[in-house]
Structure 1
């Protein structure tokens, strides 16, 4: 017979016996907003390491004009994205089976090792050096992709650990995820500007080596602090470390999984190419832009995403997840079609183009940028959160690689650069129309606490004949304690 949610919650509570002390020893210390926000520092470094390549390609184009072909450019941009797809899938499974903490260790190792190799890239030829860079950034991508699952799951579960935090859960999670990543994008541009200025605004091999190398320090700086964080109470209560009921889970959650995956794919299809191509788009207004001009203007455009992420985080708690999602997408549609339609007149009004392009980036951040992380982590139960979140993020990152390839080809297929840029914005807006429809029809508007959804999932499993007695680390502690009492 099935049990209701209250019964499931009651049975998930720790026993009242002499074994209670054992359970109490396993409970995490009280969680503050800082425990949520520290996850953002790791994702900031991911944003930095992904975006820095876009700026360094501007430098490399001047250093190696013959060897940096369009195919090499695409591979340099996509290598870290391909690595991220692998990391998202791999560590999404890992953190559900072995715990959130083990994911922190493994992802940091991959990320730092890959960055070290890319910073030291050499070869008998320049092309050989590029291939070493491509492979090493792929390794770094495995770690960066794993951080998506690790940091988002940890941030969400920490933000749900008390009533005061639950009221700000949407804001805290979006600040720790999307805002952190877009801040990393902007941070990479600031670092690039400083290093380029230090080299006298002249292309040099030292520029890209220094900029790559700086990406090593952030993940190492917070590694030991993050190691002190232990698995959340939510994970301890509901973890499934063996005999995972995949068929039952997919039967229950296929709709939000489809919606989150498609929305993330469409968002990344648009946002990553536009970030990486920002220096190219801005350089179209000047025949011979300096390195500082190209990087500086694109940095300004990408910085518009920061206020967008903050506003979107506030909106998720105020008007709801799905509403914020849809509004952001819809405004992006309008702005993209406006810029695309007016691209020729805008070629004579550079400041207006920068402002419109900036708002385009900002509302991408308000809607899908914020809500991808939040909705894709809230919509699934704790024991499978890493699985589903990692899968949705991986589908999104595949959109980044595909979008970068497709939109770069589209941009280069026009002899007239302005026509190519016009096509880029029109394609981006058309994709945004699809994103709006996906959100409206497939995205849930998740209310309540994580515990409520976990209890419903446990009850659903029992109704379908799944033995839930082995769920949760707490159950194992309870058995050990009971054995001691009986002895």
Structure 2
């Protein structure tokens, strides 16, 4: 015979197992096709077999693919420029050799146009999503990206400069939508994961994994874009050791790869408009904040965010800034670095093969990050610190020993170091900088904080583009100096992370909202919950003395009395 306690545990186990077996979201589920992450509710992993755990993780990866469709399209289009640039150089040589028939400056400025569009989208949609909701924001970004994506593939004019003007406008429009995708996808993913946890209070829930698996679709988009270009070239016989592709084949290649990407965007826009539902966490907190806003004591949300969370913004924004110097700087010069590895006479196809390999290594980094970020021995801050440390160490070695490493007899070592840096970039700051703003700020200002942090990152991308392209007296920096700059960014990111970034891996996000409500009412000194416990504060926050409010003696006696009553009669809880 089982005791009452054993019977209760079995009932909970069966209920949890039922949820595990039956919580298979249909295509029309609110967590699919959205600017947010899918979640799997898991019972305690000690009570499940290896096959059950693998099944749950496979479902979580599948839902991450649907929820991260926007990030997939973002990477597919934005990183495509790096992949097709060599095609353009061969197809339109007059645009790269100063010929008056084509504006070289306009073609060179496409990267900057792209980044500026993303920054504006991040800032405007960050505010838009906090004010009007996650659903309307996610649908808007999908529609904008869809229109912009179609126009990039269709860019044409009677003369080359006109074609690039058309392409630049389409790219800016697309990039504006992409900018909105960043704060919306991250905030929605964290909120939907938190919502699911509350619905199943007994379940073991993994928030970080949900969010990072959504973001991992960026890596998938980069990988798939390179793969599709390779397949298109193969289909036209452009796969040999020599460049034997006709101009028609090259033009078909770059336009067709954008057209295929546009098909993904059409499906994304339709899916969101039809199926995506609003974040319940945002709805609940919006109602509360509207009620508080009617109070005379309520202040401006953004100004209060800067007043109480400026140090966290320093951590998320500066960390993202230095990381994007590394990330986009290396994307910009990836072709140059790969040609050092495989030789300067490499064909377009051969360069793409090595680019695909590098993208594959980076993709592994995304998924290793996702499956370790919630572990008690890892967490967000430690993962970001590890990533920045290895970025510093690996690029410092590449920079200091560049002359020796670039010799033919040492090229395998150079390749290994470079690919390791790609892995630790994703298994580290690329995943965590996207996740942290969605967890470190209250729901009311979460998208705005994420938008500001992400925009700071894109300023880093713009800075790296200008510095690496024109930093040596108007000429491009040497590869050795680029590696040294990236190493410096790694150590700066490490220090900023350790000082300004708290680790809230195990904290319920509702605690931050509870504190925020009291901040809005000018009663912050009354808060004494988890959001200000030392475990969930950064080193800087502990240094400046953020701590729980001291309870009065009468309040303490009241809490003890209430706890005693609940212990005697659990129904009172």
Shorter-chain TM-score tier: 0.7 to 0.9
Q: Residues 166 and 226 from structure 1, CA distance in 2 versus in 1: closer, same or farther, beyond 3 angstroms?
A: farther
Name the CA shift for 1:211/1:168 in 2 (closer, same or farther; >3 Å).
same
1:325 paired residue among 375, 384, 387 = 384
Counterparts of 1:287 and 1:452 in 2: how far apart (Å)? 56
- The change in CA–CA distance for 1:85 and 1:362 in structure 2 (over 3 A counts) is same
Which residue number corresponds to residue 303 of structure 1? 360
Please name the residue that 2:23 is paired with: none
Q: Verify: 1:236 aligned to 2:283, yes or no.
A: yes
| In the alignment, structure 1 residue 152 sits paired with structure 2 residue 189 | no
Question: Any residues of structure 2 matched to 1:75-114 within 5 Å, and which?
Answer: 75-114=109-148
- Does the residue aligned with 1:398 lie in a helix, a strand or coil? helix
Looking at structure 1, the residues matched to 236 and 472 of structure 2 have their Cα atoms a distance apart, in angstroms, of: 31
Check conservation: 1:411, 1:423, Cα contact below 8 A. no
Q: Quote the residue 1:373 is aligned against.
A: 434
> Over residues 136-159 of structure 1, what are the superposed CA-to-partner deviations in whole Å (9 max), with x where a residue is unaligned?
101100111111112111111111
Paired residue for 1:293, among 325, 328, 350?
350
5 Å-filtered alignment, 1:243-254, equals 244-254=300-310
1:166 and 1:463 mapped to 2: Cα distance? 35
1:439 Cα offset (Å):
0.7
Contact 1:234/1:451, CA 8 A, preserved across alignment: no
User: CA contact under 8 A between 1:275 and 1:302: conserved in structure 2?
Assistant: no
Structure 2 match to 1:444? 502
Partner secondary structure for residue 200 of structure 1: coil
- Contact 2:142–2:268 (CA<8 Å) still a contact in 1? no
Q: Given the two structures, how large is their TM-score scaled by the length of structure 2?
A: 0.72
SS of match in other structure, 1:102: helix
Give yes or no for contact 2:405–2:414 (8 Å, CA) kept in 1. Answer: yes
Residue in structure 1 matching 2:79, options 51, 63, 78: 51
Corresponding residue number in structure 2 for 1:19: none
* SS in structure 2 of the partner of residue 463 of structure 1: coil
> Which residue of structure 2 aligns with residue 173 of structure 1?
211
CA contact (8 A) 1:412 1:420 kept: no
CA distance 1:287–1:37, shift in 2 (3 Å): closer
Q: Deviations over 1:84-109 (max 9, x none)?
A: 11111111111111111101221112
For 1:263, the equivalent position in structure 2 comes to 319
Q: What SS does the aligned partner of 2:93 have?
A: coil
Q: 2: distance between equivalents of 1:452 and 1:166?
A: 19
Q: Which residue of 2 aligns with 1:424?
A: 482
Q: Tell me if the contact between 2:321 and 2:457 (Cα under 8 Å) persists in the aligned partners.
A: yes
Tell me if 1:40 matches 2:64: no
Secondary structure of the residue that 1:379 maps to in structure 2?
Answer: coil
Report the CA distance between 1:407 and its aligned residue. 1.4
**What is the CA distance between 1:183 and its match in structure 2?**
1.6
Alpha carbons 1:258, 1:442 under 8 Å: kept: yes
1:339 maps to which residue? 398
Distance 1:169 1:247 in 2: 28
Residue 190 of structure 1 aligns with which residue? 227
- The two structures, once aligned, show a CA RMSD in angstroms of 2.4
Contact 1:37–1:172 at 8 Å: present in 2 too?
Answer: no
Kept in 1, the 8 Å contact 2:125–2:183? The answer is yes
**8 Å Cα contact 1:170/1:374 also seen in 2:** yes
Aligned residues: 435
Residues 18-60 of structure 1 deviation map (CA, whole Å, 9 limit, x = unaligned): xxxxxxxxxx799744666532121111111111110111100
Question: 2:515 matched to which residue of 1?
Answer: 456
The match for 1:206 among 252, 257, 260 is 252
Q: Contact conserved, 1:265 with 1:399, CA < 8 A, in 2?
A: yes
Are the counterparts in 2 of residues 196 and 291 from structure 1 also a CA contact under 8 Å?
no
* Distance change (3 Å), C-alpha of 1:37 and 1:29: closer
> Would the aligned equivalents of 1:49 and 1:212 in 2 still touch at CA under 8 Å?
yes
Q: Secondary structure at the match of 2:397?
A: helix
Q: Matched residues in 2 for 1:436 and 1:156: separation? A: 24
Unaligned runs of 5+ in 2: 1-29, 33-37, 41-59, 98-103, 239-244, 294-298, 525-573
Contact 2:135 2:279 in 1 (8 A): no
**8 Å contact from structure 1 (residues 112, 140) kept in 2:** yes
Q: 1:299 to 1:29 in 2, by over 3 A?
A: closer
Summarize the Cα distance change of 1:365–1:56 in structure 2 as closer, same or farther, 3 Å threshold.
Answer: same
Rate the CA distance shift 1:37–1:124 in 2: closer, same or farther, 3 A: closer
Provide the residue aligned with 2:89 in structure 1: 61
Q: Which runs of 4+ in 1 moved over 4 A?
A: 28-32, 34-37, 240-244, 410-415
> Could you tell me the TM-score, scaled by structure 1's length?
0.84
* CA distance in structure 2 between the aligned counterparts of 1:335 and 1:259, rounded to whole angstroms: 23
